[in-house]
Amino acid sequence: MQDEDNNSSETGVPLIFKSRDELIRWARQVRRRNGFVIVVQKSDGGGIRDRKPRLCLACERSGSYRNTQKNSRPRKKKARLIGTKKCECPFLLKGKKLATNDDWILIVVCGVHNHPAAEYFEGHSYAGRLSHEETSLLVDMSKSMVRPSEILVILKQRDDANASTMKTIYNACHRYKVAEKAGRSQMQQLLGQLAVNKYIEWHRSCVDTEIVIDLFFAHPTSLNLLHAFPKVFLMDCTYKTNRYRFPLLEIVGVTSIDMTFSVAFAYLQYEKEDNYTWALGLLRSVMDENTFPSVIVTDR
């Protein structure tokens, strides 16, 4: 399929650009307007035997499918159906750095495609990538507990050409969480975040394995409200709130105008009297004995 834009692919005249980034940006913008996605196929920084830097730009559908399975021998079971976007597209551009300043020259080796142009770019892995600015914005919104669907809407409102999908947003959020954990376990990450946000925290662990079995934490602001309204407590447990399936005990206080506020939380290994006694004993330790509530409502 011949290009629709009037550029060097038709005139045969090489184009000169002031930098490598400008060359790549121009090529991608032109091809995107025509319904194609361009990727960097090869890149050589030069420096060996006075070799000049150069690169090759190709269509995302160039090349052919490569079987990456270690054992490629046929199996008795029916082979899984697979698909590939690779169709050996011949489109190829070559860029080379000139001797003058930081100028680059672009030469069209083949300016045609063997597949139709795309009408929409959603689903194209490279076209749907997030830029550095979009990734930073996604991280900030993720920290603010913005839902992934709302993040995608905001990104598309900021850039009409954005071709990201929900899968792109989920993958970016997952990479951020993995990088934030930095190899720490989920419990280590939780204890670290409690310390960073200045929570008051107590925990007890098994003597033999040093595994945390009960964890109690409360924010100082919640404790200030507790001292102001210490008359009634509501206690309730929820389940399946984390990968370890520990019950989450939530302790809620009631103000003088019947408004509720969270006092403290506790992950308990079991819903037994010993676990409840431990949690209430910690809460009693941060309160005056005379102000400990006379009414406690639980789900038990």
Tell me: do 220 and 280 sit in the same domain: yes
For residue 75, being part of any structural domain is answered with no
DSSP, collapsed to helix, strand or coil, labels residue 152 as helix
| Chain mean pLDDT for the chain | 79
Q: How far apart are CA 112 and CA 52, in angstroms?
A: 27
Q: How far apart are CA 191 and CA 201, in angstroms?
A: 8
**Strand order of the sheet with strand 38-44?**
15-17, 104-110, 92-97, 54-59, 38-44
For residue 137, being part of any structural domain is answered with yes
- The pLDDT value recorded for residue 297 is 55
Q: Among residues 150, 183, 216, which one ends one of the domains?
A: 183
Tell me: do 249 and 194 sit in the same domain: yes
Q: Higher pLDDT residue, 90 or 291?
A: 90
Q: How far apart are CA 285 and CA 216, in angstroms?
A: 12
For residue 81, being part of any structural domain is answered with no
pLDDT(213) > 60: yes
- The pLDDT value recorded for residue 159 is 83
CB-CB contact of 31 with 106 (8 Å): no
Buried residues in 13-41 as b, exposed as e (16+ CB within 10 A): eebebeebeebbeebbebbbeeebbbbeb
Tell me: do 144 and 196 sit in the same domain: no
Tell me: do 132 and 194 sit in the same domain: no
- The pLDDT value recorded for residue 233 is 77
CB-CB contact of 8 with 30 (8 Å): no
Q: How many CB atoms lie within 10 A of CB 230?
A: 18
Tell me: do 276 and 205 sit in the same domain: yes
Tell me: do 168 and 197 sit in the same domain: no
- Name the domain count of the chain: 3
For residue 155, being part of any structural domain is answered with yes
Q: Binning pLDDT at 50, 70 and 90, where does residue 11 land?
A: very low
SS3 of 42-81: EEECCCCCCCCCEEEEEECCCCCCCCCCCCCCCCCCCCCC
- The pLDDT value recorded for residue 6 is 40
For residue 289, being part of any structural domain is answered with yes
Tell me: do 114 and 127 sit in the same domain: no
pLDDT(9) > 70: no
- pLDDT single digits (tens) 126-166: 788 888 888 899 988 988 888 999 999 998 888 888 888 89
Tell me: do 203 and 222 sit in the same domain: yes
Q: Among residues 119, 143, 164, which one ends one of the domains?
A: 119
Encoded tokens for 126: 């490279």
Bridge-partner residues for 215, per DSSP? Answer: 203, 267
pTM comes to 0.59
CB-CB contact of 118 with 35 (8 Å): yes
Q: Higher pLDDT residue, 83 or 117?
A: 117
Q: How far apart are CA 25 and CA 54, in angstroms?
A: 15
Query: Could you list the residue range(s) of the whole structural domain that residue 1 is in?
Result: 1-63+86-119
DSSP, collapsed to helix, strand or coil, labels residue 89 as coil
Tell me: do 42 and 144 sit in the same domain: no
Encoded tokens for 296: 């406690």
For residue 71, being part of any structural domain is answered with no
CB-CB contact of 14 with 96 (8 Å): no
In a 13 Å sphere around the CA of 242, the CA atoms on its Cβ side amount to: 14
Tell me: do 219 and 277 sit in the same domain: yes
For residue 76, being part of any structural domain is answered with no
- pLDDT single digits (tens) 244-283: 677 888 888 888 888 888 888 888 888 888 888 888 888 8
Tell me: do 2 and 115 sit in the same domain: yes
- The pLDDT value recorded for residue 78 is 56
For residue 208, being part of any structural domain is answered with yes
Q: How far apart are CA 111 and CA 8, in angstroms?
A: 9
Q: What is the DSSP letter of 229?
A: S
- The pLDDT value recorded for residue 1 is 41
- What contacts 206, CB < 8 A, 6 or more positions away? 213
- The pLDDT value recorded for residue 5 is 44
